[in-house]
């Protein structure tokens, strides 16, 4: 049984990861971590997650909790994630990271720390989304010269970062596959007299509304036709299941930075 600790255990993703871990035949939930002062600290994880009691109490002791794990799973926010990665390095534990909203410097810090421990870092743990990324990398070079590229993403009103990490990853994969610098060609909003669209641009548009779990559409538009690739998530369980799959894959891997493309064998 793979021993797993979930950090951000009282959050929406943390609850589902822990709940699915409890049901998994190859995984044992051995720890649940929350920030100091959180109301869930000291409570049974099952009580917080709305599932049967587990005997795993939510703790705010990072070192003690991470020490129990073989793999840590983190869907929190950028600064706490870096703290957890450093704690994993100190304890020589592997970590799966699904946190989004990290800036370039924070990503580089994770890359550097992955020289000491194995890390799976992906903005989206969904198997479907990662299969779509592979498809986009194959399709974009065929279409790019003659088709305009737009990405539209939609999430719930509580999501803090925009555009989503998944939309940015899609844009990055497309840009890399067609030899464009995303920093130069990305367009994140349009208003007023913007002039005609130039062919090299990659549009990335954001919607925030209600309780949308996550929707992403990539449009390749030409004169006379439009090709669309869409992924819609109806439950957070798809991301939680992917994170557990990544944790199982990560055990016994050497130090390094991996993503879900590696986990799924898509490279």
**CATH assignment of the domain containing 131:** 3.30.360.10
Percent of the chain residues topping a pLDDT of 70: 100
Q: Computed from CA positions of residues 182, 183, 189, 193, in that sequence, does the dihedral angle turn out positive or negative?
A: negative
Q: What is the pLDDT of residues 92-121, one digit of tens each?
A: 999 999 998 899 999 999 999 999 999 999
Residue 154 — pLDDT band, cuts 50, 70, 90?
A: very high
pLDDT higher than threshold 90 for residue 245: yes
Per-residue pLDDT, averaged over 233-257, amounts to: 97
The CATH number of residue 100's host domain is: 3.40.50.720
pLDDT higher than threshold 90 for residue 267: no
Q: What does the mean pLDDT of the chain come to? A: 96
Q: Are residues 108 and 6 in the same domain?
A: yes
Q: Are residues 240 and 115 in the same domain?
A: yes
Q: Are residues 183 and 91 in the same domain?
A: no
Q: Are residues 190 and 65 in the same domain?
A: no
Q: Are residues 142 and 108 in the same domain?
A: no
Q: Are residues 116 and 33 in the same domain?
A: yes
Q: Are residues 172 and 226 in the same domain?
A: yes
- Which residues are the active-site residues? 155, 159
pTM exceeds 0.85: yes
Residue 93: predicted pLDDT: 98
Residue 123: predicted pLDDT: 87
Q: What is the pLDDT of residues 166-198, one digit of tens each?
A: 999 999 999 999 999 999 999 998 999 999 999
Residue with tokens 């990861």: 17
Q: Are residues 103 and 228 in the same domain?
A: no
Residue 164: predicted pLDDT: 95
Q: Are residues 62 and 100 in the same domain?
A: yes
Number of folded domains in the chain? 2
Q: Are residues 114 and 136 in the same domain?
A: no
Q: What is the pLDDT of residues 190-219, one digit of tens each?
A: 999 999 999 999 999 999 999 999 999 999
Q: Are residues 54 and 151 in the same domain?
A: no
DSSP 141-200: HHHTTTSEEEEEEEE-TT--SSS-HHHHHHHHHHHHHTT--HHHHEE----S---SPPTT
Q: Is the peptide bond before 233 cis (omega within 30 degrees of 0)?
A: no
pLDDT higher than threshold 90 for residue 126: yes
Q: Are residues 77 and 187 in the same domain?
A: no
Range(s) of the domain holding residue 204? 127-233
């Amino acid at each position: 049984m793979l021993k797993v600790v979930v950090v951000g255990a009282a959050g929406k993703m943390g609850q589902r990861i822990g709940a699915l871990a409890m049901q998994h035949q190859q995984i044992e939930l051995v720890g649940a971590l929350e920030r100091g002062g959180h109301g869930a600290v000291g409570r049974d994880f099952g009580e917080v997650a709305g599932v049967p009691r587990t005997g795993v109490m939510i703790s705010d002791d990072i070192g003690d909790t991470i020490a129990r794990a073989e793999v840590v799973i983190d869907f929190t926010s950028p600064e706490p994630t870096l703290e957890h990665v450093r704690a994993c390095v100190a304890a020589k534990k592997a970590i799966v990271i699904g946190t989004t909203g990290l800036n370039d410097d924070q990503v580089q810090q994770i890359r550097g720390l992955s020289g000491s421990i194995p890390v799976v870092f992906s903005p989206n743990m969904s198997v479907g989304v990662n299969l779509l990324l592979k498809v986009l990398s194959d399709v974009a070079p065929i279409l790019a010269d003659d088709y305009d590229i737009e990405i539209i993403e939609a999430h719930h009103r509580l999501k803090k970062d925009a555009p989503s990490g998944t939309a940015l990853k899609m844009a990055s994969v497309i840009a890399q596959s067609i030899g464009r610098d995303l920093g130069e060609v990305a367009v994140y909003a349009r208003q007023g007299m913007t002039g005609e669209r130039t062919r090299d641009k990659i549009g990335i548009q954001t919607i925030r509304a209600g309780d949308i779990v996550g929707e992403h559409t990539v449009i390749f538009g030409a004169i006379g036709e439009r090709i669309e690739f869409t992924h819609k998530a109806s439950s957070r369980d798809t991301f939680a299941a992917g994170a557990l799959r990544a944790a199982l894959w990560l055990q016994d891997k050497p130090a390094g930075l991996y993503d879900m493309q590696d986990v799924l064998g898509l490279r």
